[in-house]
Amino acid sequence: MFITKNHLSRRTLLKGGGAMLALPLLDAMIPALTAQSRTAADTGLRLGFIYHPHGAIMDRYTPETVGRGFEFQEILKPLEPFRNQLTIVSGLGHAAADTSAVHSLSPTTWLSGVRPKPTQGVDAYAGVTADQIAAAQIGQDTMLPSMELATEDHSGLIGACDRDYGCIYMNTLSWRTPTTPMPMEINPRKVFERMFGQGGSPEERQARRAEDQSILDAVAGQAGDLKRRLGSGDNRRLDEYIDNVREIERRLQRAEADLDSQVLDLPEAPPGIPFVYEDHVDIMFDLLALACQANVTRVFTFMMAREISNRTYNQVGVPDGHHAISHHQNREERMAKNVLIQHYHVTLFSRFVDKLRTTPEAGGSLLDNTLLLYGSNMSNSNAHNHYPLPNIVISGSGRFAGGQHISYEERTPMTNLLVAMLNKAGVEIETLGDSTGTVSEL
């Protein structure tokens, strides 16, 4: 640890050329040899909620045994390296989504437990979601109290999407107030600029790319001065962080160039969005990891794909549209294709978990200070039901037991789990939506 009586401020920014770059937590930000060292090092948990649509094939998702020593089923196999950091939670249900309008209500009730007002107009009324409750309490000291990301554009979906419920309920996971849905950003370039201050509209991107210098070039002088004040461990951590920023910037520029070359074939493709789905998801996860590392945010939601998405997954041998094939009618060959898609989504998520685990932070890793919920608000996509829900809680923190499969009493409100997660993250809340308490053994 770098020992100094004049520790570096946690809010230190590198500035240059109109750009600002936040810094990760460094040892030099911790007041050494004081009784406050542990408190300063503890940045508090980051909270992340990652959603996948259309439920799961539950008998190929849920372990056959509860407790420890369970065997991973096929869908969750990519998460086996993180056995000690995860808890598979069974027995939870979401009564708020139990209507015929399952696709509209699944996203908007997942983090609230509140059935919204039936409407196809602009007078939507839903429940405040867990992420926004957390953002109000633990996110106000960060540049972005919360981040909301997705991979598919929802802005064109208006009016009636699912019986009596408008598309507005399908377009986001996050509601700041009952009448204020949070828009979800799908463009990595816009996310990057929001985090690090580069401006420019999509129309200007060609000119900007020609004349733009890297953010890191703009602040190189300050970074050099700062490194002379740091110890060897902090210097390595800062180098890794800057390399991550530069790599994401390089990939965004490559994605934009690829899209430019495809503009005649893909005129609808927004600038900055990778052509390949896997690249899109990977870069969004990398941006979220970077945002957590730099303390840009402590709360985020990410919709890996939207409900009724008919994206195809040829890369894993599924040329069928996802929504169409999710209505599997209990036919084995169609169920097998759903398993392939769900396994693929978990694989992409597992890379993010590994990124957090291998990113150092003072006192441990980024995963040690992050609490994740990965799941869906639908169970059997063919039945369109909401029990039992597929849910996984992951954290590297010693405050969580991990390494277990917990099965709660049938139809325990999922909001009980959300209350428990919020409490673990220091968010003071006793009830949420239809919760009846909290859950134990986490």
Q: Which CATH number fits domain 47-186+297-442: 1.10.10, 3.40.720, 3.40.1350, 3.30.460?
A: 3.40.720
Q: Are 102 and 378 contacting, i.e. CB atoms less than 8 angstroms apart? A: yes
- What are residue 266's phi and psi, to 5 degrees? -130, 65
Contact 339, 57 (CB under 8 A): yes
Residue-level pLDDT, tens digit, the chain, 442 residues: 333 444 666 666 666 555 566 677 777 776 543 434 333 335 578 999 999 999 999 999 999 999 999 999 999 999 999 999 999 999 999 999 887 678 889 999 999 999 999 988 888 999 999 999 999 999 988 888 999 999 997 654 555 566 678 888 888 999 999 999 999 999 988 888 887 655 444 455 555 555 455 566 666 667 777 877 787 778 777 777 777 777 777 766 665 664 455 443 333 333 478 889 999 999 999 999 988 988 889 999 999 999 999 999 999 999 999 999 999 999 999 999 999 999 999 999 999 999 999 998 877 899 999 999 999 999 999 998 999 999 999 998 777 789 999 999 999 999 999 999 999 999 999 999 999 999 988 8
Whether the CA torsion 8, 9, 10, 16 is positive or negative: it is negative
- CA quadruple 150, 152, 156, 157: dihedral sign: negative
Is 295:46 a contact under the CB 8 Å cutoff? no
So where are the chain's domains?
1-42+188-272, 47-186+297-442
Q: In one letter, which amino acid is 157? A: L
